[in-house]
Amino acid sequence: MCLNILMAEGDQQIRAVAARCLQVAGNKVHEVADGRAMLHAVMTARFDLIVTAILLPGQDARQTVARLREKLPDVRIIALESGAPGTWSQAFSEGGGVHVLPKPFTPRQLLDLVKSLFGLPADT
């Protein structure tokens, strides 16, 4: 895989681990810590995939996804869900194109989801 990925996560430890596993798989990862930086990044670079925390400092989750869809209607999005599983899944599935991954997740779960979004086989 060689994707250009934007990783937006307020928790530095989660962001670092997720970014590292995506990099080891051969991807370029641009990391940001808040909603404002994420929106700035999508205005200045092209991304194949955006991995974002649903609860991101400086940005409401629905507002974030709406803005991303407005500016990048075809980009694939993985939303990292904290709290009760399924809380955001239905809200985002109605908007289309957003795949929810509950926290905590393993690096393997993240990589398998990324691969499935791009039609690549998951490792066994």
What structural domains and CATH numbers belong to the chain?
A: 4-117 (3.40.50.2300)
Share of the chain above pLDDT 70, in %: 87
pLDDT class of 98 with cuts at 50, 70, 90: confident
Residue 48's nearest CA partner among 79, 68, 18, 74 is 74
* Structure-block tokens of residue 108: 């393997």
- In this predicted structure, the answer to whether residue 95 has a pLDDT above a threshold of 60 is no
pLDDT class of 122 with cuts at 50, 70, 90: confident
Question: What is the mean predicted confidence (pLDDT) over 43-54?
Answer: 93
* Structure-block tokens of residue 113: 């989801």
Question: What is the mean predicted confidence (pLDDT) over 49-61?
Answer: 84
